[in-house]
Chains A and B, each alone.
Chain A
Amino acid sequence: MNNRYTRRQSLKMLTAGLAVTLLPAMPRLAASKELLQKPFSADKTLPVIGLGTWQTFNVGTDPKLLAARTEVVSAFFEIGGGLIDSSPMYGSSPDTVGHALQQLGIPDTLFSAEKVWSPAGGSAHEQVANLLGRWKLEQFDLVQVHNLTDWREHLAALREMKQEGLIRYIGITTSHGRRHQEFEQILASEDIDFAQLTYNITHREVENRLLPLAREKGIAVIANRPYDGGRLIKGLKRRNESLPEWAEEECGCSTWADFLLKFIVSHPAITCAIPATTQVAHLRENMHAGMGTMPTASTRQKMVNFIESL
């Protein structure tokens, strides 16, 4: 899979990565219809909006829903998406992603992110081999230890696989603000490439210690539950809340998806957010948030104040 990136694509990513690196810590990026990319290692970048699969891609063998999710994945790549995140805990989601990739072919931009956990049974090696079969891939870009389950054993096994070239990057995950102390210890002491955690405008605890530490250690951060499991954006829409007048001018927000996602991906330590959706229209809204002007530090504070005032 190392060879999947074309020269043109690599140059594009490198340029984008350099652009982001050279910008100030809290860049107010020039308005653009290109999906913003952020660097995550010396010479790699990722589009700031990825695709989560929890609940939404667990469709079993239903041909109608498999076709619908393939359309979502197709639109994701069409707009320039990269990271797709799944887990053996997400039911048939890995199979659904595999089905879509089989139908669409494997795009150069794909950054496949999976997880291993313990109750699923079998070793990390067996789990990765099984998941590769379900995704119909030969190699994963990233494999993470799901919710820190048996993380010592799993990280050791993942490191071996990385050395053998079976996977490219390794990481750990948590969600819902669980086990942050242990998470911090692992970030501080272990050699990992990615950390996935819950971060959104109403759950910002990670700003205090985890995000600064990850940034200091050069660990890429994936933000899960960007809409707090959908409750955040549904709540705003249900209450018929309007965007503040300054949102469009200051950070190009025309939808709540823009507002909520731009807040997340504009944090300097966050590499990408992974909203999940079942609909192409929502996918397009999500991806739009990764384009154009991003909020500055002061605008981010205004965003927080606005949400807290509701």
Chain B
Amino acid sequence: MIFGSSYSLQDFVPFTADIYFRLLERMGETYWPLHLITIVLGMVALWLVLKQRLRLACLLIAPVWLFVAVAFFMRLYAELNWAGGYIAFAFLLQSALLLFLALTGIGLDDRSAKSHASIVGTFIALAGLIGLPVIGLLSDGSGLRAEVFGIHADPTSMTTLGLAIMISRGWLLWCISLIPALWLLYSGLTLWALGAPSAKLLLVVLFIALTGLFWKQLELSMLKHESHDQN
């Protein structure tokens, strides 16, 4: 018999694909043309990271997480999913963490430009800043469903995860990457359950990001050993 099953991933998602995509569309409708500002903000943050102005980059990204927490998760997503409130809290926490990094500079990696893992970070950040919106534009002519950094959760998480690989070190590398990575996993599984092709993209990017994180950790460990040897 071809039809088996009892529970599947789909049974844990409390809405249908059209409802979820309409939610993303509503963010686009409600906040346009804020998209233009947030994309520029993301681009500037990436440029600042490449120029080693890490604290300023964190300061630019922190309010974006606050905005997505309130405008998307608290105001819209929580209406459909009881978990929305908890996810909003996680996004607020990420905002606070970025602000903490911006104000203290603790855990920032001032040798980030020399790191090979930064190449992975840059790729992931660009995928979030340019890749996702372009895919959205190509799949929906109106552009309303295009997901944009600073407005929608997926590109915001993707870009931040890319930047996190570039800017942080030590335990803060994992701390600052945890929430964006968990959201990408959750979102990827949700989209998978809804039968959306973008699920694979999200999960592949997450896999690359995790590879980048471990690579960065390895590079930092090697640098530490080298400096011990020199001592």
The answer to whether A and B interact is: yes
Q: A58-B80, A91-B82 are in contact. Are A232 and B16 (CB under 8 A)?
A: no
Partner of B11, one of A56, A58, A91, A229: A229
The stretch from A59-67, A145-153, A155-163, A208-216 touching chain B is: A59-67
* B residues less than 8 Å from A60 (CB atoms): 19, 23, 76, 79-80
* Chain B residues, Cβ within 8 Å of A278: 16, 18-19
Rounded to whole angstroms, the CA-CA distance of A308 and B1 in the bound complex is 5
Q: Does B227 contact A (CB under 8 A)?
A: no
- Cβ of A178 to closest chain B Cβ, rounded Å: 9
Contact B19 A59 (CB under 8 A): yes
Tell whether, in the assembled complex, residue A62 and residue B22 are in contact, meaning their CB atoms are under 8 Å apart. yes
Residues on A with C-beta less than 8 A from B14 are 54-55, 58, 90-91
- A229 in contact with B16 (CB, 8 Å): no
Tell me which residues across on chain B come within 8 A of A55, comparing CB atoms.
13-16, 19
B3 with A235: CB separation less than 8 A: yes
Contacts of B10 in A (CB 8 A): 229-231
CA distance in complex: A229, B14 (Å)? 12
B16 near A235 (CB under 8 angstroms)?
A: no
B1-48 interface (Cβ within 8 A of A): 1-8, 10-11, 13-16, 18-19, 22-23, 26
Q: Does B211 contact A (CB under 8 A)?
A: no
Q: Which single member of A58, A61, A90, A229 contacts B8 (CB below 8 Å)?
A: A229
Interface membership of chain B positions 69-110, coded 1 if the CB is closer than 8 angstroms to chain A and 0 otherwise: 000000010011110000000000000000000000000000
Contact B1 A176 (CB under 8 A): no
Task: Say how far A306's CB is from chain B's closest CB, in angstroms.
Answer: 11
**Number of A residues contacting the other chain (C-beta, 8 Å)?**
28
Question: Chain B contact residues: over half helix, strand or loop, or mixed?
Answer: loop
Q: How far is the CA of A133 from the CA of B82 in the complex (A)?
A: 19
Contact of A231 with B3 at beta-carbon distance under 8 Å, contacts A55-B13, A55-B16, A65-B19 already known? yes
A307 within 8 A of B: yes
Q: How far is the CA of A172 from the CA of B178 in the complex (A)?
A: 41
B16 with A56: CB separation less than 8 A: yes
The answer for the CA separation of A35 and B22 in the assembled complex, in Å, is 33
Q: Is A266 an interface residue (CB 8 A)?
A: no
User: How many of chain B's residues have a CB under 8 angstroms from any CB in A?
Assistant: 24
Cα(A176)–Cα(B11), bound, Å: 10
A177 interfacial contact with B, CB 8 Å: yes
**How far is A60 from B81 in the complex, measured between Cα atoms in Å?**
10
Q: Which of B157-201 contact A (CB under 8 A)?
A: none
Task: List A residues 195-244 near B (Cβ within 8 Å).
Answer: 202-203, 228-232, 235, 239
CB distance from B86 to the nearest CB of A (A): 14
- Binary interface encoding of chain A residues 282-310 relative to chain B, with 1 for a CB under 8 A from any of its CBs, else 0: 00000000000000000000000001101
A92 proximal to B (CB < 8 A): yes
Contact A91/B3 with A176-B11, A278-B16, A278-B18 known, Cβ cut-off 8 Å: no
Q: Which residues of B contact A54 (CB under 8 A)?
A: 14
Within the assembled complex, what's the spacing in Å between the Cα atoms of A58 and B81?
A: 9
Question: Is the Cβ of A176 less than 8 Å from the Cβ of B6?
Answer: yes
Kindly list chain A residues whose C-beta atoms are within 8 Å of the C-beta of B5.
Answer: 228, 231
Name B22's contact: one of A64, A92, A308, A310 (CB within 8 Å). Answer: A64
Residues of B contacting A64 in the complex (Cβ-Cβ under 8 angstroms)? 22
Assembly CA distance A210 to B11 (angstroms): 23
Q: Let me know if A91 and B15 touch, CB within 8 A.
A: yes
For B16, the chain A residues whose CB sits under 8 A away are 55-56, 278
Nearest CB of chain A from residue B166's CB, rounded to whole Å: 36
- A91:B79 contact, CB within 8 angstroms: yes
Rounded to whole Å, the gap between the CB of A196 and the closest CB of chain B is 16
How far is it, in angstroms, between the C-alpha of A91 and the C-alpha of B6 when the chains are bound?
Answer: 22
> Are B22 and A65 interface neighbours, CB within 8 A?
yes
* Contacting residues of chain A (28-83) with chain B, CB-CB under 8 angstroms: 54-56, 58-62, 64-65
Smallest Cβ-Cβ distance to B26: which chain A residue? A62
Q: Is the CB of A310 within 8 A of B2?
A: yes
Contact of A239 among B2, B23, B76, B81 (CB under 8 A): B2
Chain B residues near A232: list those with CB within 8 A.
Answer: 3
Which of B3, B10, B80 has the most CB atoms of chain A within a 10 A radius of its CB?
A: B3
Q: Which residues of A contact B80 (CB under 8 A)?
A: 58-60, 91-92
Q: Which residues of A contact B3 (CB under 8 A)?
A: 202, 228, 231-232, 235, 307, 310
Among all A-B residue pairs, the 4 with the closest Cβ atoms: A60-B79, A202-B3, A58-B15, A308-B1
Interface residues of B (CB under 8 A from A): 1-8, 10-11, 13-16, 18-19, 22-23, 26, 76, 79-82
- Chain A residues close to B by CB (< 8 Å): 54-56, 58-62, 64-65, 90-92, 176-177, 202-203, 228-232, 235, 239, 278, 307-308, 310
The 13 listed contacts between A and B (C-beta, < 8 Å) are A55-B19, A58-B15, A58-B80, A59-B80, A60-B80, A62-B19, A62-B23, A91-B15, A91-B81, A203-B6, A231-B3, A307-B1, A308-B1
List 4 other contacts, CB 8 Å, given A91-B81, A232-B3: A59-B19, A91-B14, A91-B15, A203-B6
